[in-house]
Chain A
């Protein structure tokens, strides 16, 4: 069940993306990781049926070109099919403003990259525990 969970990483930073991929590999976690480079691409992927298999959770950066994390969240929560999605914010910003804005749109957690442990190890461990313990919504019929 836990292995089914797919991760959609929305981040324009290639190195951070690679760091996460490596981290999962190091921890031998085999979950599928999909990547979008900004909010626009992320929404496209989510609205294409079957492109992101359910259940999934989203790791969302805030500072991105074209559509930033806040705008993405706003669109996501307005979309009836997507508004329940589980989103973790993963960003360099630890500004109160960003945190408040994110939690106001019901994110599951707000993680500052600097505090996610060396090579994101802490983050990856958190996610590993998270989907083992927390129940995610099952894929809807069809």
Chain B
């Protein structure tokens, strides 16, 4: 926001030609119009991003990037693309290398913050490395501005001005600090783990700022050495110039003396021609002497094309060296007036016109390859760090100011690519430091999160293992208990039966018929109990026995079962319909046979009709289920779960051929041990009877191998 207002104000300043808005202080460099425009674009882009107008933000960001990068290209390729003065013609060019062009560091900062804005537009909300980079770019932008601000604060010009190019304006620097700062803050605001960007950004900015400061210092040091070299060379040049001028003046004084001793005009003319030939700085000689030249006086000899010499006689009585004209400054043409010896008329004199520029040219090609020498113009101050120096050469009354500037040859010999290399490496280092730090932090957080998850998983697995272990042990104990209890119960029961038999054998004669009947009843009861215990044993063993799992061909298995049951079924007059295509399943063959056996037996048993039908079929799944359908008495809905309870019967023992009520319980236990279910449905055609359905390995995977039974059977 603030940045936008600032940019607008400066644009207004340019349009209104108000130096206060544009420059802040007359000696400071101005914020260029393009800079101000870019700030306005960037500010609106930032706001658009904030209000989720991503397309607008992208377009404006493109504008910022374009302005920054085009200007950078202009600097790097020494081109003029015509964008500098595209909008306004600048009225001030203080500390400006190219009129209207923003500073190179400003352009760089715009490229950086434009990239940051673009990345922010691209990522909006997504996660990734880009969310790390754009606050970093913003931070770099801010640090460029901050370094310039520090430069203004400390009077360190290299901090805000690069080389001889345009300087970054004070308010431009401020605006960059605001802009970059707000980008960083924006990134922090949307960061879920604040530490993730804070530390890398701070580290990156610190390294970048340090790099910029060190680079500035290096540049300054380099410029200082260049200045020193210029001083040294310039001093030597000034000395040789002084020598040349002094030699010339001495020679002219000698000529003046010779005229005084009565030289003829011809001799002087020959002498003067010689002088002109050998003294490059001497443009013309003029002799005012009626005594020597008569009516021809004054006699002028000069190089072709020299400015005209004043024809009036001299008015001075002493030797005088003065500029030919008061303008232009600095004077390069000097007039040396020497009045002729006493006794001569007052107005007779010798005049020499000396061109100081030619004298400068005379002092050797060696100097000129290193220095650009010129007479000082008092109007333009010296630039520090640019290899400039001023020297006083004794000449005339006031002396000469000689200005020496290092040529590109001299500057090049003192300018090494080291600082720039250092700058590039430092900025790269800053970027990589901060990126790698961010990656490190992120990966550490991820690693710790991962290891937490892993630890939780391990704990969970251990817990489940323990539960499973516990469950297995419990099951094992239950089985052991049932097995042992059954055997321990069976033994005395067998004894009971046997003893009743002994009684009948040994004492049957002595008992009456009722007594014998009772003994037989006793035996029957004991046998029934024996049967029940046997069922209990089967039930405890079902599904948990040591039997192993195979792929079982169910069609073959069913054939076997039917063969075994064949006579019983025939006796009951059962009509059997058998579907094929049962396929195969993984399981324990013996136990699966028991399931079919008890379901078929059950279906055949519970019927009061003479027309008994049992159908065995398969219903494709998933899960695929096997169905045994009968037309028997059926089971009311509310009793359907009861029939699976151990020893539960819905009828009297003598009805429907005395079953023990264990078969279905055992069948269900076996099916469940195979990972399946066993349940009862009504017949789909609504007819009387039931449908027993079961599935195997319903969960699509082979049931867990039964736990190895432990070896503690007695």
Question: Which residues of chain A have a CB within 8 Å of any CB of chain B?
Answer: 13, 15-16, 18-19, 22, 63, 68, 92-93, 95-98, 113-114, 118-119
Q: Give chain A residues whose Cβ lies under 8 Å from the Cβ of B546.
A: 96-97
Q: How far is the CA of A92 from the CA of B492 in the complex (A)?
A: 11
CB of B643 within 8 A of chain A?
no
Q: Give chain A residues whose Cβ lies under 8 Å from the Cβ of B494.
A: 13, 15-16, 92, 113-114
Q: How far is the CB of B388 from chain A (nearest CB, A)?
A: 109
Across the interface, A97 reaches (CB within 8 A) one of B502, B534, B709, namely B709
Given contacts A22-B505, A92-B491, contact A15 B499 (CB under 8 A): yes
Q: How far is the CB of B706 from chain A (nearest CB, A)?
A: 12
Q: How far is the CB of A19 from chain B (nearest CB, A)?
A: 5
- Among residues of B, the one whose C-beta sits closest to the C-beta of A92 is B490
16 further interface pairs, Cβ-Cβ under 8 Å (given A63-B487, A92-B490): A13-B494, A13-B495, A15-B499, A16-B494, A16-B498, A19-B498, A63-B714, A92-B487, A92-B494, A95-B541, A96-B546, A97-B546, A97-B713, A114-B534, A118-B501, A119-B501
Q: Could you list 15 examples of A-B contacts with CB < 8 Å?
A: A13-B491, A15-B498, A18-B498, A22-B505, A63-B491, A93-B487, A93-B713, A95-B483, A95-B713, A96-B545, A97-B709, A97-B713, A113-B494, A114-B494, A114-B534
Q: How far is the CB of A38 from chain B (nearest CB, A)?
A: 13
Q: Give chain B residues whose Cβ lies under 8 Å from the Cβ of A97.
A: 546, 709, 713
Say whether B495 contacts A15, CB under 8 Å. Answer: yes
Q: Give chain B residues whose Cβ lies under 8 Å from the Cβ of A13.
A: 491, 494-495
Number of A-B contacts (CB under 8 A): 44
Across the interface, A96 reaches (CB within 8 A) one of B490, B491, B547, namely B547
Closest 5 CB pairs of A and B: A15-B495, A15-B498, A19-B498, A92-B490, A63-B714
CB of B530 within 8 A of chain A?
yes
- Among residues of A, the one whose C-beta sits closest to the C-beta of B489 is A92
Q: How far is the CA of A15 from the CA of B492 in the complex (A)?
A: 9
Q: Give chain A residues whose Cβ lies under 8 Å from the Cβ of B505.
A: 22
Q: How far is the CA of A142 from the CA of B674 in the complex (A)?
A: 59
Q: How far is the CA of A96 from the CA of B498 in the complex (A)?
A: 26
Q: How far is the CB of B537 from chain A (nearest CB, A)?
A: 8
- Among residues of B, the one whose C-beta sits closest to the C-beta of A65 is B714
Q: How far is the CA of A16 from the CA of B714 in the complex (A)?
A: 19
Q: How far is the CA of A63 from the CA of B483 in the complex (A)?
A: 12
Residues B534-550 near A (CB distance < 8 A): 534, 541, 545-547
Q: How far is the CB of B484 from chain A (nearest CB, A)?
A: 9
Q: How far is the CA of A22 from the CA of B502 in the complex (A)?
A: 9
Q: How far is the CB of B589 from chain A (nearest CB, A)?
A: 13
Q: Give chain A residues whose Cβ lies under 8 Å from the Cβ of B541.
A: 95
Contact with A along B696-714 (1 / 0, CB 8 A): 0000000000000100011
Say whether B530 contacts A114, CB under 8 Å. Answer: yes
Q: How far is the CA of A96 from the CA of B490 in the complex (A)?
A: 17
- Among residues of B, the one whose C-beta sits closest to the C-beta of A63 is B714
Q: Give chain B residues whose Cβ lies under 8 Å from the Cβ of A16.
A: 494-495, 498
Q: How far is the CB of A69 from chain B (nearest CB, A)?
A: 10
Q: How far is the CA of A68 from the CA of B714 in the complex (A)?
A: 8
Q: How far is the CB of A87 from chain B (nearest CB, A)?
A: 19
Q: How far is the CA of A15 from the CA of B491 in the complex (A)?
A: 10
Q: Give chain B residues whose Cβ lies under 8 Å from the Cβ of A68.
A: 714
Q: How far is the CA of A19 from the CA of B499 in the complex (A)?
A: 9
Q: Give chain B residues whose Cβ lies under 8 Å from the Cβ of A92.
A: 487, 490-491, 494
Q: Give chain A residues whose Cβ lies under 8 Å from the Cβ of B545.
A: 96
Q: How far is the CA of A95 from the CA of B590 in the complex (A)?
A: 13
- Among residues of A, the one whose C-beta sits closest to the C-beta of B531 is A114
Q: How far is the CA of A78 from the CA of B534 in the complex (A)?
A: 34
- Among residues of A, the one whose C-beta sits closest to the C-beta of B523 is A118
Contact with A along B600-612 (1 / 0, CB 8 A): 0000000000000
Q: How far is the CA of A97 from the CA of B484 in the complex (A)?
A: 14
Q: How far is the CB of B562 from chain A (nearest CB, A)?
A: 23
Q: Give chain B residues whose Cβ lies under 8 Å from the Cβ of A15.
A: 494-495, 498-499
Q: How far is the CB of A54 from chain B (nearest CB, A)?
A: 30
Q: How far is the CA of A95 from the CA of B499 in the complex (A)?
A: 26
Q: How far is the CA of A92 from the CA of B530 in the complex (A)?
A: 11
Q: Give chain B residues whose Cβ lies under 8 Å from the Cβ of A114.
A: 490, 494, 530, 534
